[in-house]
Amino acid sequence: MWSACLCSKPPTCCKEMAMSSEILINSAIGETRLAHMEQGQPVEIRLFRDHEPSLTGAIYYGRVTSLSSEFQAAFIDLGNGLTGFLPLNLLPKRPGGKPKDLTGLLTEGQKIIVQVTADATGDKSVKLTGRIEVVSSALILHPFREGAFISSRIKNPDRREALKSFASTLNLRGMGLTLRTEAQSLTNDEIKKTAQHLIRHWLQAVDNRDRKKVPFLLSQGPESLLQILREFGSTKHDKMIFDRPAALKNAQGWAREFAPDLLSRMELHPGKTPLFEHYGVEEDLDRLFDKKIPLPSGAWITIEQTEAMVTVDVNMGNARLSNDPMKQRLNINFSAAREIFRQIRLRGISGLIVIDFINISGKSIVTNLLAVIDNLIQEDPVQVQRSNLSAFGLLELARKGGPRPLGRQMLAATAPQATIETAALALLRQAERDAAAKPGIPLIVSASPQVTTWLKTQPQLLTAFTRRTGSKLDLKET
């Protein structure tokens, strides 16, 4: 990002600076929290809660219950009362092209292997694909697709050719393989070993599937730590910092087998101050759903969520006037654009986003602002499309849905306040810090009736607290 540059042109000087990037992993009781830091600021925060595990990545042997010509989709029974939505354009590619009506590709009652791509939200079913992927941080195995593929993020043409040439020599048993960015730091032997592991995992998952009663789970999605390592164990991060020795040890064990280059970048947080507090993440979490976000110049942005879209307004606020008003407006828009994109990623905002920038004029000035925005779009791991800037300073973004938005996990649907679960898990984190000062001594904590009731329905969390701290937690209603 270009947070330190206030020039009136796209700050290419800042683009050339090395961007520091760290992954912080807080293993708390009842949840694992991740913060992706860039230049000392969080740009993404994830919560992996034990009581609401994600199904993303899980592979099922399901059964088609119905087909929809209107939606060109199938509804798949996954077992245990779970139904999935499968767009038929996500079936494995077949020779001869696609028929006009894709519902002819399946029949009701047919067995089918599918993978969860997104958890259920509200009244929407889990989303599925028929294009199965078995993933490590460096490789993706495609059981229903042949060939060797190289990530577009590997830019060096010689390295791309070398990787593709080696991948084509592997015995993939009729399957396909994508080499991700991390693969360029591995030796050929490490790539081969990882590919063989993924193949074994897949074959073990589907072995004897037709002898079991359909539907059933073939392969569980990765547990939280493994999911983090697969997604974030990439060479672009300088450090991966853990706050629990056990989590670090487990991560190192995984890295030795699948991502040896990651080992040198893994470390344990050395300080007594909790990891998220030390790096200022707790403070960002506390302010995460504020509508008004101040900017260093005295200007501010406001973020409003509606049913149809998210609107963002850039306001001059208390910014001091300068001798060059147009340059000042552009600089404020630069600063606002960076903070807007950071907030979009932090909050997990998706769908239609309309930004009302401070009015600027002049083709070159507008081009400079759009160049900054295009660079920010490139930094976003989720696909984003933009419109041009209108005569009224409006810019529209369309952002695909990414991981589960923090708002759905942390805030109640009926009011902008913390959910009972969020309050309870925060209470456990504070109680763990208090218990560290007096280990082994019973700890009395007071909380609302809703929080104490929820904690009592999660006895595994209270057991984990006692095992970790040596103290018993005595809950009192306030």
Q: Write out pLDDT tens, residues 105-134.
A: 999 999 999 999 988 876 778 999 999 999
Pure H helices in 46-118: none
Residue 96: per-residue pLDDT? 67
Q: Where residue 216 falls among pLDDT bands split at 50, 70, 90?
A: very high
Comparing 458 with 416, which gets the higher pLDDT?
458
Q: How do residues 315-350 score in pLDDT, each as one tens digit?
A: 988 887 777 888 889 999 999 999 999 999 998 898
**Look-up: residue for tokens 């654009």?**
337
**Is the pTM of the predicted complex or chain greater than 0.85?**
no
Q: Is pLDDT of 413 > 60?
A: no
Range of lowest pLDDT (30-44, 226-240, 338-352): 226-240
Q: Is the distance from CB of 304 to CB of 276 less than 8 angstroms?
A: no
Range(s) within the chain of domains with CATH label 3.30.420.60: 21-52+223-283
Comparing 408 with 459, which gets the higher pLDDT?
459
Q: Where residue 13 falls among pLDDT bands split at 50, 70, 90?
A: very low
Largest CA distance in the chain: 79
Comparing 413 with 476, which gets the higher pLDDT?
476
pLDDT, mean over the chain: 87
| Dihedral angle over CA of 345, 351, 357, 359, nearest 10 | 160
Q: Which listed CATH number (2.60.40, 3.30.230, 3.30.70, 3.40.50) goes with 134-219?
A: 3.30.230
Range of lowest pLDDT (259-268, 399-408, 422-431, 468-477): 399-408
Residue 67: per-residue pLDDT? 95
Give the rounded percent of residues in the chain with a pLDDT score beyond 70: 92
Residue 144, classed as helix, strand or coil, is coil
Position 303, amino acid = I
Return the DSSP state at 418.
Answer: B
User: What fold characterizes domain 59-129?
Assistant: OB fold (Dihydrolipoamide Acetyltransferase, E2P) (2.40.50)
User: What fold characterizes domain 21-52+223-283?
Assistant: Nucleotidyltransferase; domain 5 (3.30.420)
* CA 457 distance to own-chain centroid: 28
Q: Average pLDDT of 358-381?
A: 92
Residue 353, classed as helix, strand or coil, is strand
Range(s) within the chain of domains with CATH label 3.30.230: 134-219
Q: How do residues 242-278 score in pLDDT, each as one tens digit?
A: 999 999 999 999 888 777 888 999 999 998 899 999 9
Q: Is the distance from CB of 419 to CB of 451 less than 8 angstroms?
A: no
* CA 180 distance to own-chain centroid: 17
Q: Is pLDDT of 217 > 90?
A: yes
Structure tokens at 283: 């403070």
Position 233, amino acid = G
